[in-house]
Amino acid sequence: MTSNKHSNPSGINTKLAHCGNNPADYFGFVNPPVVHASTVLFPDAKTLKSENQRYTYGTHGTPTTDALCEAINMLEGAEKTVLVPSGLAAITVPLLGVLAQGDHALIADSVYGPTRRFANNMLRKMGVEVEYYDPTIGRAIETLMKPNTKVVFTESPGSNTFEIQDIPAISSVAHAHGAVVLMDNTWATPVNFKPLDHGVDISITAGTKYPAGHSDILIGFISANERTKRIVEDAHMFLGMSVSGDDAYNTLRSMRTMGIRLAHQSKTALALAQWLETMPQVAEVLYPALPSHKGHEIWKRDFKGASSLFSIVLKGGGEKQAHAFLNALKIFKLGYSWGGYESLAVEVHLEDRVFKHQYLGSLLRLQIGIEDFDDLKADLEQALIATKL
Ligand SMILES: *Cc1c(COP(=O)(O)O)cnc(C)c1O
C-alpha cells in the first residue's frame, strides 16, 4: 500500500488519528472500505497459477485487515503484524509457531489464566517442558535457562496481581541463550509500552480490550520483529486464522480514540487508586502507577503511562465481604474482560499460582471506565461501607 502522508508524526494521538488510512488507495474516502471476502478473482490462467497479484484469498488479507495491520505495525515498530480472532489466539499461535517437542518454555507465574491453561494442557501434551518463574526475577532468570530453553514468556504487569517485570533485563539474558521472548502487552497497549523497543521479539495484544474499547469485539494482534517475522507469518497461515472485515474495521475505528480513552481512564484510575489507599477497609492497592507499588520504579523507567485496571485487597475480608462489596456496586457492573468504556469489578482467585503470595484479605479487580470520578468514587465508597469491615 502507498505510504501515507502523515508518516512520522511524533504525537501518539496524531498517529492514532491517521494510522492505517491511505485514502488515495480508495477513491479519497477518508476511511478504508469494509471488504467481505473469501474469493478473489484473477484476470487469466497465468496469474491464477502464479498468484502474482496484491490479493489472492480472504484468509491472506483484504484492504480492511491490511489497514488495521499497518496501523498496529506502525504503533509497535514491528516488521510484521497478523490479526487473530481473540487475544487468547494471539498467545497460542506464536507459542505453537516457536515451540516443538523437547523444548523448554519459561512462563511468568502471573500470566493471564488461559495462557497457563494452554501451557499446562496443550504445550505439555506436545512434549514441551513448561516451567513457571517468579515474574519479578529480573536478570536472575539466567539461573533457569537451559540448553533447550526456546521461549521466555512475559506479561507486565501480571494479570490480576500487577507485578512489573524487568523486560529489558529478561530479554537480554534470554537472547544470550538463544531464546525467543514473547510479551503479553494487553495492559499497557503499544501506546504506553512498546515491547519490541525493550528487547521483546513478539508483542501480543488482546485487541478486545483497549483497542476495540467497547466490549463488543474479540480480536488479537501479534507483532513480530525481523527475527520472528517468518515464524509468526507461517503459524498464522498454517493454523488458518483470520478476522472478519467488520471486526477489523470497527477495531481501527475505535483505535482513533484509544489514546484519549487511555489518558482519561488512567487519570481517573490513579485518582481512585490513591483515594482507595487511604480507605480503612482497603489493605493494599495493586497498581504500578502508585509510588507504593513494588514495581513502580521499573514502571516509571519503561512505561509512558498506565491504564485503567488494578486490584484492591479488602482488609481481612473473606468471601462474604467480597460478595457484599460486589453486590452493593451500582455503576460498576460485574463481568469479565476490561478496557471498554464501562467500569467493571470481579473477584480474583490465585489458587494455581506456583509462587504464592499471602494477601491480607480478598482480592478484587477493578476496571475503570470513562464515567466521572465523583460518581465512581461514591459507588466504591458505599460498597466499601456495605462490607461492614
Ligand atoms: C483478556 C486478556 C487476554 C485474552 O483476550 P481475549 O480476546 O478475551 O481472548 C489476553 N491477555 C490478557 C492479559 C487479557 O487480559
Answer yes or no: is the C-beta of 186 below 6 A from any ligand 1 atom. yes
Inter-residue contact 220 to 90 (CB < 8 Å): yes
Q: Which residues of the chain, if any, have pLDDT below 50?
A: 1-6
Give the DSSP per-residue string, 44-111.
Answer: SHHHHHHT-SS--BGGG--HHHHHHHHHHHHHHT-SEEEEESSHHHHHHHHHHHH--TT-EEEEETTS
pLDDT of residue 378: 98
Give the separation between CA 116 and CA 122, rounded to whole angstroms: 10
| Ligand 1 atom showing the smallest separation from residue 89 Cα | 9
Q: How far is the CA of 206 from the centre of ligand 1 (A)?
A: 5
Q: What is the pLDDT of residues 140-170, one digit of tens each?
A: 999 999 999 999 999 999 999 999 999 999 9
Residue 41, pLDDT score: 98
Instruction: Quote the strand ranges of 272-322, DSSP E.
Output: 282-286, 309-315
Burial state string for 171-187 with b = 16 or more CB within 10 A and e = fewer than 16: bbbbeeeebbbbbbbbb
Ligand 1 atom 1: the closest Cα is on which residue? 337
3 Cα–ligand 1 center, Å: 31
344 lines ligand 1 (CB under 6 A): no
Instruction: Point out the ligand 1 atom lying closest to the alpha carbon of residue 208.
Output: 7
Q: Is the CB of 386 under 6 A from ligand 1?
A: no
Query: Could you say which DSSP state residue 281 is in?
Result: T
| Probe target for ligand 1 pocket from 84, 92, 112, with the most ligand atoms within 8 Å of CB | 112
**Count of alpha carbons within 13 Å of 137, Cβ hemisphere only?**
24
- Ligand 1: nearest atom to the Cα of 207: 7
Q: Residue with the nearest Cα to atom 4 of ligand 1?
A: 87
φ/ψ region of 307 (left if φ > 0, alpha if ψ in -120 to 50, else beta) reads beta
Contact 19, 78 (CB under 8 A): no
Distance 154 CA to ligand 1 centre (A): 14
Is the whole model's pTM more than 0.85, yes or no? yes
Tell me what pLDDT residue 1 has.
42
Q: Is the Cβ atom of 208 under 6 angstroms away from ligand 1?
A: yes
Grid coordinates standing for 201? 521479539
Q: Which three cell numbers stand for residue 47?
A: 496469474
Is 184 near ligand 1, meaning CB less than 6 Å away? yes
Determine the distance separating the centroid of ligand 1 and the alpha carbon of 87, expressed in angstroms.
5
**In angstroms, rounded to a whole number, what is the distance separating the alpha carbons of residues 92 and 86?**
10
Q: Which residues contact 170 (CB under 8 A, 6 or more apart)?
A: 137, 138, 139, 141, 152, 154, 181, 199
Backbone φ/ψ region at 214: left (φ over 0), alpha (ψ -120 to 50), beta:
alpha
Candidates 196, 206, 193; CA nearest to 295 is 193
Atom of ligand 1 nearest to the CA of 219: 7
Question: What is the DSSP-derived secondary structure letter of residue 39?
Answer: B
Query: Do 103 and 66 meet the contact criterion of CB atoms below 8 Å apart?
Result: no
The rounded Å distance from CA 377 to ligand 1 centre is 27
Contact in structure between 95 and 105 (CB atoms under 8 Å): yes
Domains and CATH numbers, the chain: 12-255 (3.40.640.10), 259-385 (3.90.1150.10)
DSSP 165-217: P-HHHHHHHHHHTTPEEEEE-TTTHHHH--GGGGT-SEEEEETTTTTT-SS--
- How many Å apart are CA 68 and CA 78, to the nearest integer? 13
88 CA distance to ligand 1 middle (Å): 6
Residue to mutate, 118, 159, 186, ligand 1, most ligand atoms under 8 Å from C-beta: 186
First to last CA, the chain: 60
